[in-house]
Amino acid sequence: MLSLSLEGKVALISGGSRGIGAETVRLFREAGAKVVFNYRETREHALALVEECGGSADCVALQQDLSHAENGRSLVAAAVGIFGRLDTLVVNHGIWPPQDAPIATMSSEQWDRTMGVNLESVFGLVQAAVGQFQHQRTTGQSGAASHIVLISSTAGQRGEAFHADYAVTKGAIISFTKSLSSELAGEGIYINCVAPGWVRTEMSQTALNDPRTRARILSTIPLGRVATAREVAAPVLFLCTPHAGFISGEVLNVNGGAVLVG
């Protein structure tokens, strides 16, 4: 039987208490990894997920805001402190301000907040994780490979009117993926990106509940529906296994055929 196993691995998944992040936590635990994930406010969701995934011996939830680079560095340090090492980082957290904001009137506060959560903290997470991977390699603690998967969006490829702040950050994530892969693949550090389209999560529910908005969204998706969170989490898992051993710097589109670019 074919197995996507992560036995013996330690993964840090940001934004892991709900939506795509929670499904990623579940799948990584099903694959045998020990998992640390963070949450910002949803403590009840986070603790319930820990119990669902076998308890704190193998799955740990940490309350950590991610809006600055130092927050990301602190989260990596905490994860390493819990399980002693790190093999995989999945950068899943992010915000999408749901109200339309024309660029002529978008507030500096919204722009800065989106940049902080969706980019600055990502820099801190990645920087600290790469440093940990390199330390493990130089001290003989590293396995065959280390993995980082960044979550982008179709908005990072084709833009999104009235949500330029979000689209800019997700486009930067794609460029970050390709730059990091060119820099780090030779060290056995695999960097890839998953770019979802519309996914049924709490973040998207307001838009999907509006009949006119939902109809417009579905008209752009050849498969005629939005994704489930698990349909995004599964490709993330795949990219962190030996079955993806010759994939680095890739943008994997999970969008029902909506954006056919990489």
In whole angstroms, what is the distance from residue 38 CA to residue 15 CA? 6
Give catalytic residue positions: 166
- Tallying the residues shown for the chain, one arrives at 262
* CB hemisphere CA count around 41 (13 angstroms): 0
Q: Tell how strand 251-254 and strand 59-63 pair up.
A: unpaired
Q: How many CB atoms lie within 10 A of CB 103?
A: 11
Sheet bearing 146-151, strands edge to edge: 59-63, 34-39, 10-13, 88-91, 146-151, 189-196, 251-254
| CB-CB contact of 125 with 75 (8 Å) | yes
Among 183, 188, 195, residue whose Cα is nearest residue 147: 188
* Dmax (CA) of the chain: 57
In whole angstroms, what is the distance from residue 81 CA to residue 149 CA? 21
